[in-house]
A and B are shown apart, each in its own frame.
Chain A
Amino acid sequence: MSVITYRDALNQALREEMHRDDRVFIMGEEVAVYQGAYKVSKGLLQEFGEMRVVDTPITELGFAGVGVGAAMVGLRPIIEFMTWNFALLAIDQVVNSAAKMLYMSGGQYNMPMVFRGPNGAALQLSAQHSQAWESWLAHIPGLKVVAPGTPYDAKGLLKSAIRDDNPVIVLEGEMLYNTKGEVPENEEVIVPLGKAELKREGEHASIITHGKMVLAALQAADQLGKQGINVDVVDLRTIRPMDVDAITTSVRKTNRAVVLEEGWEICGVGAQVVDYIQRDCFDDLDAPVVRVHQADVPMPYAKNLERAAKPDAAKAIAAVKKVMYLE
């Protein structure tokens, strides 16, 4: 077992899958010569050549569409967006082409492609570049959406995404790339799509979360543990299709739930989680479910305001205490 960064875990996944299947190629802004804006594609140009590691102009809609066409003729493209904020320009290809092709062609065209890149806020990148898009993307039938929170899950989910015959959205995190975690060296790491993981086991409450917020949830769990409060941390890992069983199993055990996400409140991923809980765990609830999310404002640039707007471990702790009637 070796400890590697989230960035290296993604790099390993790309390299391994490109070796495994020569139909796999990567395309995006600065992925080749510059080795990736965040160095996720480091070394790939040298190893696989410019036919499989393709630099594009700053034309998100264009290269996303080229990716869709490549997938239609049997290749397995990986489209890197420098951030998901820029992917808004390509949303028509993602939502109207990639997500719908299998359906509208009557099953004639699979769409074995991956759209990936960093999602959500980093630090002081202001309103236009600090947004978490998962609820937009997970809303669309035809897309699968994953949001790994650890290096292991990043590697395992990206590999599963590349092997899947449907368009898969991989939401990474600028603040996650340097985080480290254990990833086995000499065995294949595969994390199945649609499977959550219980990252921490407790009895008093469940924190249900995904992506970057997994780290905040684990911090909250550590601090709560010192106060004698033990929580389940359910990492959804895949947002669509969502692992409803993992959610309900945990809530039936703890009777109290906090749903933590990076994005905004209204119509957020957490709203869907709460719906599953009320539908399947009504008689198990001892308290209303509490959601923790970004403040309902464009992300402020000022450091103090940005901190106030973001969900974090302290807010998760307060929410856990609220569902436990400990306020």
Chain B
Amino acid sequence: MATKVVMEALSPTMEEGRLVKWLKNEGDQIKNGETLAEVETDKAIMELVARGEGVLRKRLLNENDAAPVGQLIAVIAPPDENIDALVSSAGSAAAAPAAPAAPAAASAGATQEKVASGAPPAPPTARPAAPPAPSAAPSGNGGGRMRSSPLARRMASENGLDLQGVQGSGPGGRIIKRDIEAAVASGSAKQQPTAGRFVPAGEDYRDAPLTQIRKTIARRLSESIGPIPTFYLTAEFDMERVAEMRAAMAAMGDEFKVSFNDIVLKAVATALAQHPEVNAHWLGDKIRYFNRVHLGMAVAIEDGLITPVIFDADQKRMSEISRESRELAKRARERKLKPEEYTGSTFSVSNLGMFGIDQFTAIINPPEVGILAVGALEEKPVVVDGALAHRKRMRVTMSCDHRVVDGALGARFLQTLRRLIENPLMLVY
């Protein structure tokens, strides 16, 4: 039985991929799950892994060449199996518009089909439904159904393991108890993003049907200003106490250093938890209010911009947010983010303070309904208790989708945010 290796949809929006580097040569013995090649998607450089076992018989794509999602790019098969028909079908399949594998690949990541040699390709098999996750389901999942014993599935779920990272040693690659035990012992398997202590009880979100007034507001304002009727709210916060807190923490040692941005992220996440009405998605026929706060943070990279996500940010300590944002930013610049790390945010923050920008407006990342643009921290003359004083100040501007967030609602959110930032001890309350 041969396994067709096709260009997989390695990001939710990927339509074609450029093969950066083959990591296996023709003739190499391939195990299920081994990395075959590095592929550049529209967002990152990702690993393409084998979905079957055998010998890498044929590579059909040169390094640096691109192939649309679904195109056959290699064949894995037993050494003695005749793969001529498969290989010669590659050209015609690739030329055909909208290869049948492509839509399936984009939706379910199901791409590598098992085919008996000479037989017509079977339709891709859907994998079992993934448990609900805050981010998009991890893509790059095998087309051949992943086999695992019921016990292995239960153990994986109890240990918060993603079975896709586990190598199966049973018949036909079945994942069995000893594989889970090995994965747990080595810590090699990927933790599910839902795992850990940040899972609140109950639903992740609540869908609210549109009321007539919301429908009218949405229609009228969209006519006026564009598909996302945005308005902007600007406020200037006093940052003296934040600066004091930060200095006091830094004085305790390097490991307690946090950036202004870390504190702002923590404050925004906390404020969002108190205002779920701005922590939402506009879905056209309904508004989805999230019960969990997944905060996107815009990161400038060499040739653009990406928004990695701090999941359950309101539940995380400042030290965790600090470490995670640093790590995400670093990997964003290296283009090493996985799709599930930059999808699923419920609200975003963009900070251009480090470029000396006093104030700016950020563009909403749909279907989110708000984004906060953070300016530079500056010392300014202000009136305090009737007298002129110099204080550290910072301007933020919130872009609001008026279909969901009305002016007063956005203003109340900024009020909460001001209270938190001007009294940062509230963040530990």
Contact = CB atoms under 8 A, between A and B. Distances in A.
Contact of A255 (B151, B169, B170, B171): B151
B152 interface: yes
B151 A325 contact: no
Given A325-B169, A325-B170, A283 B176 contact: no
Nearest to B178: A325
Nearest to B157: A283
A287 interface: yes
What is the predominant secondary structure among interface residues of chain A facing chain B?
Answer: loop
Interface string A255-286: 10000000000000000000000000011111
B150 A325 contact: no
B206 interface: no
B369 to A, nearest CB: 41
A287 B153 CA distance: 12
A284 B171 CA distance: 18
Interface of A: 255, 282-287, 325
A284 B152 CA distance: 8
A283 B153 contact: yes
Nearest to B152: A286
Nearest to B176: A286
24 contacts: A255-B151, A255-B177, A282-B150, A283-B150, A283-B151, A283-B153, A283-B154, A284-B150, A284-B151, A284-B154, A285-B149, A285-B151, A286-B149, A286-B151, A286-B152, A286-B176, A286-B177, A287-B149, A287-B170, A287-B176, A325-B169, A325-B170, A325-B171, A325-B178
Interface residues of B, number: 12
Interface string B122-160: 000000000000000000000000000111111000000
A285 B149 CA distance: 7
Contacts of B150: 282-286
B166 to A, nearest CB: 14
A240 B164 CA distance: 44
A287 B177 CA distance: 9
Query: Max chain B CB contacts within 10 Å: which of A285, A286, A325?
Result: A286
A284 B155 CA distance: 9
Contacts of B171: 325
- Considering the complex of A and B, which 9 residue pairs feature the smallest CB-CB distances, nearest first? A286-B151, A286-B177, A283-B154, A286-B149, A283-B150, A255-B151, A285-B150, A286-B176, A282-B150
A151 B168 CA distance: 46
